[in-house]
Structure 1
Amino acid sequence: MKIQNAFRIGLVGTLGVGVGLFILASIVSLSAIITYIGAALFLALGLDPAISWLERRGLPRWSAILIVMSGVGLIAAALVLAVVPTIVEQVSDFIDEIPRIVEQVTAQDWLEFLQEQFPLLKVDEIADQVTAALTDFFTNPDKLSELAGGVLQVAVAIGTGVFAVIIVFILMLYFTASLNTMKRATYQLVPASKRARFADLTEQITQSVGRFVLGQVSLAAVNGALSFIYLSIIGAPFTAVLAFLAFMFSLVPLVGTLTGSIVIVLVCLIPSIGSPLTALAAAIYYVIYMQVEAYVLSPRIMNRAVKVPGALVVIAALAGGALGGVLGALVAIPVAAALLLIIKQVVIPRQNER
C-alpha cells in the first residue's frame, strides 16, 4: 500500500495516542468521584426493589421513596446511637489492655519456652532490641513528631471518609428518585428495533442487582445480630466490636463470613482478654452458622437474585477487592451476575442461530 501523506498519518496517530492518554489520566484523576457514583448507584439499585414493592401496593413513587429513605435513616441512626458508643468504649478498653497483653506475651516464661523450642534463636537479644526500640520511640522528640503527623493523617482520612459518605448519600437520593428517568433516557440511545430487548435485559439486570444487595445486607445483618447474642452469652471480649466485624465481613459474599469468623476466633485467643475455651466455643458456633447460612438462609433470601457459580464469586471478589477494596469486592459480584445474564440471553442465543 502506498502512503500518500506520511506526515498526516503520523500527526493523526500521535493525536489519537495523546487523546487516549488524556482519557486514561482523566479516569485516574477522577477515580474517587467515579467510586462515589458507583457506590451511590449500587445502593440506589439495592433500594429500588423495596420502592417498587410499595409502588405495586398503590403508593406514588415519591411517597415510596420517602418511606424507604426514612426507614433507612432511622435504622442508620439507631445503629449509630446503639452500637457506635459501645464500639468506641470497647476499642478504648482494648487499647488499655495492650500493655498487659504485651507484658504477658513478652513474659519470661514465654521467652524461655521460645528459647527451648528454637535453641539457635537469640530470644533475649531480640527482646532487648525490641524494648530498646520502643523506649527510643517514646522518648525521642522526632519520633513523637512523626507519631503526631500520623495521627493528623488519620484525622484527615476520617474527615475524608465522612465527606465521602455524605456525597454518596446525596447521590444515592438523586439516583433513587430519578432511576426510572435515567433508564428511559438510556433506552432512547438504542436503535428502535433493539430497544425492547435492551430494555427487558436492563430491567432484569437492575432487579437482580437490587435483590442481591438487599439479600446480602440481610445476611450480614443476621450474622451480626446472632454473633452479638452468642458472643455475649459465651463471654467473648468486645462483643459489639466483633459483631460489627462479623456484619462488615459478611457483606462480601462467600468468603466474607469465613474470613470474619477466623478473625473473631483469633481475637478470642488473645491472652488476658480471651481464652482457648471461648475461642473453641466461637469456632464451633461459626462452623454451624456457616452451614445454616449456606443451606438455609442464603437459598431463601437470595432465591430471586441471579445465581453465580461459587468459583466465579471468589474470582470476582478477589479481583474487585484488588481494584477497589471492599466496595470493589461488593460491586464485582453483581457485575459478574450481569455479565452471566448477558452471555446467557444474548451471546449464546446468537451463537445458536448461526
Structure 2
Amino acid sequence: MNHRFPRWLGVITMLLAIIGVLGGFIAAAIPAVITQGQQLVANAPDYLNRLKDHSSFVGQLNDRFHLIDKLQGAVNSPGSGSLDGILGAGRAVFGAVTNTVIVLVLTAYFLSDMPRIRALAYRMVPHTRRPRAILMGDDILAKVGGYVLGNLVISAIAGALTFGWLMIFSIPYAALLSIMVALLDLVPVVGSTIAGLIVAAAALTVSLPLCLCTIAFFVIYRFLEDYFLVPRIIGRAVEVPALATVVAVLIGGALLGIIGALVAIPVAAAVLLIIREVWIPRLDKA
C-alpha cells in the first residue's frame, strides 16, 4: 500500500510471492532428495562395511555405541514396517500441506479485512479514550510489522552465510541447503539448530572433519544471531532495548516454547509502549 497498490492487489501479490518461494523450494528439493536417496541406497553396503571395520573411526564409534544393534532394533521394532513408514510419511506431508494452506488462507483474510478488524477493535474502547487507543494500537501494529521484517532480514543473512560456507568447501546442493536454512531460521529457538544438523549431515558426505567444522560454524552463528543480530536488527526495528530483547526471548521460550519465543519480542514491545504511555504518566501524576 505504501507503493500505491490497492489492498486486494497487495495481498494477492504477497501470497503469490510466498507460494512461488515455497513451490520453487519444493521443486528443487524433490529431485535432490530422490538423488540423495538413491546414492544412500547405493552406498549403504560401503557404509555397513565401514561400521564393521574396527580400525576405522566409524567402526570404533560402532564398537562404543553399538550403532548397528540399535539400528536393527529400530528396524525390527513394532510399527516400523514399510507400510507404517509410508503411512506416517504420508500423514506428515498431508498435515504440512494442510497447515500451510490454512495459514495462507487465514493470512489472506486477515490482511484483506484488517481495516474493518482494526475499526471494530477500536470501537470497543470508550469514546473519550479512543484517540489515544488508536495511536497506541497503530504503534503496536507497526512494531509487529517491523518484527516480521527484521526476522526476514535475519533469515536472509543466515541463508547467505550458509551459501558462502557451502560454496567455499564444495558441499553439495549449496543453493538448496541455503534456502532451507533461511526458511527454517524463521522458526525461533529450534529452526537454526535443525537446519545446522541437516547441513552437517550433507557435509558428512564429503568428510568427517568438514562435518565437525560445519557444526562449529552453526554453533558460532547461532550465538551471534541470538546475542547480536536479533537485538541489533529486531530490537531496533521494534524499539526494544537489546537486553530486553534477549530476556524476552528467553522467558517466552521457557514459558511457551516455540510459540512463546515467536511472540516474545512483539509482546515486549507492546508492554514497553503501554508502560511508557500509560503507567509512567500515571505515576508522574500520583
TM-score with structure 1 length normalisation? 0.63
Q: Which has the higher contact order (CA 8 A, sep 6+)?
A: 1
Q: Please tell me the residue identity of whatever aligns with 2:207.
A: G
Q: Which residue matches 1:60?
A: 6
Q: Which residue matches 1:104?
A: 50
2:263 matches 1:263: no
Fraction of identical pairs, as percent: 25
Instruction: Please give the residue correspondences for 1:116-195 in structure 2 after superposition, counting only pairs within 5 Å.
Output: 123=63, 130=70, 133=73, 137=76, 143=78, 146-195=81-130
Q: Which residue matches 2:33?
A: 88
| Deviations, residues 51-96 of structure 1 (Å, cap 9, x unaligned) | 4x22xxx443334334433443444444443x32355246525743
Q: Which residue matches 1:202?
A: 137
Q: What CA RMSD, in Å, does the superposition of the two structures yield over aligned residues? A: 4.0
Instruction: Please give the residue correspondences for 1:1-354 in structure 2 after superposition, counting only pairs within 5 Å.
Output: 51=1, 53-54=2-3, 58-81=4-27, 83-89=28-34, 91-92=36-37, 95-96=40-41, 100-101=46-47, 103-109=49-55, 113=60, 123=63, 130=70, 133=73, 137=76, 143=78, 146-240=81-175, 242-252=177-187, 257=192, 259=193, 263=197, 266-267=200-201, 270=204, 272-277=205-210, 279-280=212-213, 283=216, 287=220, 291=224, 299=232, 303-307=236-240, 308-321=244-257, 325=258, 327-354=259-286
Q: Please tell me the residue identity of whatever aligns with 2:253.
A: A
CA–CA separation in structure 2 for the residues paired with 1:338 and 1:145: 48
Q: Please tell me the residue identity of whatever aligns with 1:68.
A: M
Classify the secondary structure of the residue corresponding to 1:309: helix
Q: Which residue matches 1:34?
A: none
Structure 1 spans left out of the alignment, 5+ residues = 1-50, 116-122
TM-score with structure 2 length normalisation? 0.75
Q: Please tell me the residue identity of whatever aligns with 2:277.
A: Q
8 A contact 1:254–1:310 mirrored in 2: no
CA–CA separation in structure 1 for the residues paired with 2:239 and 2:102: 29
Instruction: Give the 4+ runs in structure 1 shifted more than 6 A.
Output: none
Q: How many residues align?
A: 281
CA–CA separation in structure 1 for the residues paired with 2:22 and 2:47: 34
CA–CA separation in structure 1 for the residues paired with 2:222 and 2:124: 47
Relative to structure 1, is the Cα distance of residues 89 and 111 closer, same or farther in structure 2, using a 3 angstrom cutoff?
closer
CA–CA separation in structure 1 for the residues paired with 2:37 and 2:135: 52
8 A contact 1:320–1:330 mirrored in 2: no
CA–CA separation in structure 1 for the residues paired with 2:20 and 2:72: 51
Q: 1:104: Cα distance to partner?
A: 2.5
CA–CA separation in structure 2 for the residues paired with 1:159 and 1:206: 33
Q: Please tell me the residue identity of whatever aligns with 2:8.
A: W
Q: 1:265: Cα distance to partner?
A: 7.0
Q: 1:300: Cα distance to partner?
A: 5.5
Relative to structure 1, is the Cα distance of residues 87 and 306 closer, same or farther in structure 2, using a 3 angstrom cutoff?
farther
Higher-Rg member (1/2): 1
Q: 1:146: Cα distance to partner?
A: 4.5
8 A contact 1:223–1:246 mirrored in 2: yes
